[in-house]
Structure 1
Amino acid sequence: MYGCTCLRDYCEDFFNECNKYVADSLKISTNKPNGIKQVIRMSGLVPINKQNFRLPNISTKNFTNVIMSEFTKHLRDVISSLAEDERNSFRDGMATLICIQLLSQTFKKSNPNPLELFLNASIQPERLEIIKRLLNFIKNIKGDRNIPESIWFELLVLDSSDNLIKTIPMEIVSFEVYLRCAAKVVPALAQHSDFINRLSPHFDDAITQNQFSIDLKNITFLLSFLRNQSSDDANPDLKTIRSIIDSSIPLRNKIKEYMSKLDVTINEFNSIRDIFILSIESSVLFHVNRKEFLLKLLTNDKNLRSVDFYIQWFLAFMTPDKNKPSMFDDDEFKELLKVWTTCVAHRPDLIVKIIKEINVLISAIGDHPCSSHFIEHMVDLCFQL
């Protein structure tokens, strides 16, 4: 224990001294790229491991952020200055500094994600070797616990010939997190054929292995992303991402499974409607029949449904407005209306309460092509009571 404490103190002392002197020395350096390179190589010699690592102190964080910021500014010159016998120590140093940034989470406050550094074209020859060491470094410190920013690592090593992705523990993420990462990584690595060829299988595998959160919020976000195609002509990489997602068979199956088991509440009606409308031009809900879904929602447990349930169902799915067009043609509307009235007509208490709210329903249906049919249908229903 004493040895570990001494070694930990040594590591902190090293970075404390670096923070005091190295950053200032770089400011007056006549060959800044070489100075940055040597500092990075020197950092790789620090013996950090699981026993002596703890959350970096302020000096360590400051030094690391300064060096990485300077390296980013002079990245091309630093990389081009590397001699063959300097590459190993340089890679070790990069792994050390990026690991400190990731584990201290400093980048989430003010600095960019340090892994974005690997999107720079100049560092591509070193990318996979540095990431391999970085993954080993993190594993030595954190053991088998989750790796920070795991989806970044997964995409950054897709073109690895030694299957680095298998060394990354799976972490459940939202579609928003995945797309935010993919939107940056794909344009940077699209020139690598192995990366592009593996992008679609990787997405499908992630779906199959339940790596993505599947819920109404995430489905809505995904469909909104797929629908927003205005920038695709200027950004073909976004078009590639959309194509991969929209054509994913595992995604269609997973959403079908989720929707079939969903116990929908009144508060979720508008979310369901938004999803159905957003999916009209997408294949993501290919296996979900909107009409059948809503009919099942209407008829299941109909003896237990409240009047509010039927009114809100009607307002959500049968009444269009300028922002939410109708989901159904006239024949489908009439079929759904018939089932809706059948559900409420067998309970006198419900139909009386709904008739009291008829003005709300008529106002909501507005100038729908079937508005006259709805009014006539409700009048007929009243005479049948």
Structure 2
Amino acid sequence: MCLKYLSTIEDVLNQDLNALKVLIQMIALIPISKQNIMFDENASGFVSVILKIISGKINNLIVIINKNDWISFYKGLTLLICIKILREKDKNDTDNTIDLLSRISEREQREDAALQLLKLFKLLERRLPGNKMMELYKLMNPKDLTLEYLEPTVSWETYIYGLTHIVENCECCMNDLEDLIKDQLCRFLKVNYFPMLLPDVAWILTYLKPQTNNKSTQIIQRIFQKSDSLQISIEQYLDSRSYSITSNEFPLVRDILIRSYNSKLMHNINRPEYLLRMLTYRKEHKIDHFIEWFKCFLCETDENWIKYQDLVCHWTNCFVKDQIALFEIMKQVDSLIDLWIKVAPNNNQRSDFFVTHMVTQCYSL
């Protein structure tokens, strides 16, 4: 029905602002809940056309909205935007959605609309794509943003971004807020609310690593650092992946185990043992796998936990009996030696060990 009569009224809507305003207000009357949120292609097409018309006339349209009309207008507008976002195939498309709200000139009206859109997504128990959630946070009155409105977020990054806004504008007891954040974090982790994959682990640890003077960031970092549930989630996931990490994922694991290593959240991860598990991943015994493993994990740090002699021996044992593999790796040995020495240029014992060891391998067959 929506599209059947759209062509008839489209010209009117383009010419008559009052007709467009009334249509938007009528849409606000449509009852919506998570039980009836089913939109077909026709409804989606109707919404896209209406929003396109609104986009071209938003500045003039806002001028004719009086105080009595405003509530029904912004509720209708946000419902249209909500439907479009839910039906979008390209989740990075921001045309005629959040950008429409940002074009509302009056700050209070803009904040009303942004809060209403967030309420809709919470009511429907749907998630907002990360880029849209970030934009919506920026449009809201910071005092309106509460923990319950973080539920439509889709990632750890957008969640922490929202937490930062809430902590920065906290007007109640900070201890009470911290307890609420701890409870919410624990609940989210218990139901795997956000993904916990290698990029997510790396992002969380990178966020927690820097020392900062920002009080809000310090509070959030402290909560995450002390979270037993977060520690368990990270350790369980890493343990489940230890024998299935590909060479393309080595840089992420390097960030996790070395560059952004967190001793509190990874207390039970034996890093040397973990490196050996990745090294012996049987499905990817390719030359590139061994080269990338060496570059990422043996040419990154000279910290005490890196038992480099043992690790190098295990590394060469993986390919020394394969003449072709050994030959191909030895063709790159000069560049590997350079990378090895750069880690600890003043450690002659370390440098001599690697050179001697590699020469020995050539005569081991």
Matches within 5 A, 1:297-376: 297-301=278-282, 305-320=285-300, 326=301, 328-329=303-304, 332-367=307-342, 368=344, 369=347, 370-376=350-356
Assess, with a 3 A threshold, how the Cα gap between structure 1 residues 45 and 122 changes in structure 2: closer, same or farther. closer
The 3-state SS of whatever aligns with 2:261 is helix
Q: Which amino acid aligns with 1:244?
A: I
| 1:219 counterpart = 2:201 | yes
Distance 2:227 2:73 in 1: 40
Aligned with residue 205 of structure 1, among 182, 187, 192: 187
Checking the alignment, whether the CA contact within 8 Å between 1:252 and 1:284 is kept in structure 2 is yes
Q: Which residue of 1 aligns with 2:252?
A: 271
Indicate the RMSD between aligned Cα atoms, in angstroms: 5.0
Stretch moving more, 373-382 or 279-288? 279-288
Q: Which amino acid aligns with 1:366?
A: I
Aligned with residue 135 of structure 1, among 120, 131, 134: 120
Checking the alignment, whether the CA contact within 8 Å between 2:196 and 2:234 is kept in structure 1 is yes
Checking the alignment, whether the CA contact within 8 Å between 2:58 and 2:100 is kept in structure 1 is no
Unaligned runs of 5+ in 1: 23-38, 72-77, 321-325
Stretch moving more, 265-274 or 12-21? 12-21
Assess, with a 3 A threshold, how the Cα gap between structure 1 residues 195 and 66 changes in structure 2: closer, same or farther. farther
Q: Which amino acid aligns with 2:309?
A: K
The 3-state SS of whatever aligns with 1:108 is coil
Assess, with a 3 A threshold, how the Cα gap between structure 1 residues 331 and 354 changes in structure 2: closer, same or farther. same
Q: Which residue of 1 aligns with 2:36?
A: none
Aligned with residue 232 of structure 2, among 231, 244, 253: 253
| 1:295 counterpart = 2:276 | yes
The 3-state SS of whatever aligns with 2:208 is helix
1:25-80 Cα shifts (integer Å, max 9, x gaps): xxxxxxxxxxxxxx9xx959953346998513444456667777999xxxxxx9xx
Question: Identity across aligned pairs (percent)?
Answer: 20
Q: Please state how far the C-alpha of 1:346 moved relative to its aligned partner.
A: 4.3
1:54-112 Cα shifts (integer Å, max 9, x gaps): 513444456667777999xxxxxx9xxx9xxx9xx976665444434444459934866
Q: Please state how far the C-alpha of 1:314 moved relative to its aligned partner.
A: 1.2
Q: Which residue of 2 aligns with 1:36?
A: none
Q: Please state how far the C-alpha of 1:293 moved relative to its aligned partner.
A: 0.8
Matches within 5 A, 1:62-211: 94-104=74-84, 108-109=94-95, 134-135=119-120, 146=126, 148=128, 158=146, 173-188=154-169, 190-193=170-173, 195-211=177-193
Checking the alignment, whether the CA contact within 8 Å between 1:226 and 1:246 is kept in structure 2 is yes
Stretch moving more, 269-278 or 351-360? 351-360
Q: Please state how far the C-alpha of 1:365 moved relative to its aligned partner.
A: 1.0
Q: Which amino acid aligns with 2:165?
A: K
Checking the alignment, whether the CA contact within 8 Å between 2:78 and 2:117 is kept in structure 1 is no
The 3-state SS of whatever aligns with 1:360 is helix
Q: Which amino acid aligns with 2:240?
A: K
Q: Which amino acid aligns with 1:248?
A: S
1:322-341 Cα shifts (integer Å, max 9, x gaps): xxxx0642861122122223
Checking the alignment, whether the CA contact within 8 Å between 1:255 and 1:285 is kept in structure 2 is yes
Unaligned runs of 5+ in 2: 33-38
Assess, with a 3 A threshold, how the Cα gap between structure 1 residues 5 and 383 changes in structure 2: closer, same or farther. closer
1:267-302 Cα shifts (integer Å, max 9, x gaps): 222222122223235644334332111111223439
Distance 2:62 2:217 in 1: 29
Aligned with residue 48 of structure 1, among 30, 35, 43: 30
Distance 2:233 2:81 in 1: 36
Distance 2:339 2:117 in 1: 59
TM-score by length of 1: 0.63
Paired residues in the alignment total 326
Q: Which residue of 1 aligns with 2:35?
A: none
Distance 2:237 2:258 in 1: 18
TM-score by length of 2: 0.65
